[in-house]
Structure 1
Amino acid sequence: MANHISNFFYFFVILTTIAAVQYSTVDAGKCTSIFNRCDDIDCPGHCKSAHGTHGVSWKCDLFYLCTCTFNQNPSSKNLCRIGMGTCYQGECDQSCCNAKCAATYKQGFGTCIPNQFTKDRCVCSYRS
């Protein structure tokens, strides 16, 4: 019985290691970019034309901006950008936005971008 448990344990460790390597390989070049408002452009079409076969998915974010997710060559010098919510006094200011980005993305830094109609947005720039 003990031999079956130890064999199962080793099998589980090997399987987990393989899954972790595959997951990190797929995620390594994952990048996002933000474009115009979703009601101003065809977001799925724009993501496909901008990123071609590298396009993975798209969504309209909290501010209804078209956000494309795609695979980018990790050696690329281009920065990836993604919205990280709102920036406003009392809840999350510039230092909070920067801290959220640094904690979420490798080499990430945040910037509060003014928005005249709604609350300012926290945009995170990072390398894939």
Structure 2
Amino acid sequence: MEKAFSLLVFIIFFIMLASVENKVKAKTCMERLDHGLCERCTERCKAKHGPKGEGSCDIKAQLCYCFYPCPTGPQCYGGAGLCGPCGSPCCNQQCADKYNQGTGFCDNIGHSNLCKCEYPCK
């Protein structure tokens, strides 16, 4: 009986250790929030990406950066508003400016021409 109890304690300890290790290895997405600069940075990040979103303000540059868990897969996704008159090249530049290693393309959805971005989880 004592052997079975020791084995059960070992298994529980191993499960707890494995769950902590997975949290440490969790990857995050990072988005620069343009509007509002640093004002209520963390609140805006949580409003956009849920309770696990964390805002960080670069006071010198007056920029709010939002960090949030990556969705399943190696890529993060976001948007950069409407596509301008120069189309995908401008969208690609907007995504590069807004997201670390971001790339973008224009996508027509209904009557809107939206700039969609993709960037790697870190």
Query: In which range does the TM-score fall when normalised by the shorter chain?
Result: 0.3 to 0.5
TM-score by length of 2: 0.41
Larger Cα-atom Rg: 2
TM-score (norm 1): 0.40
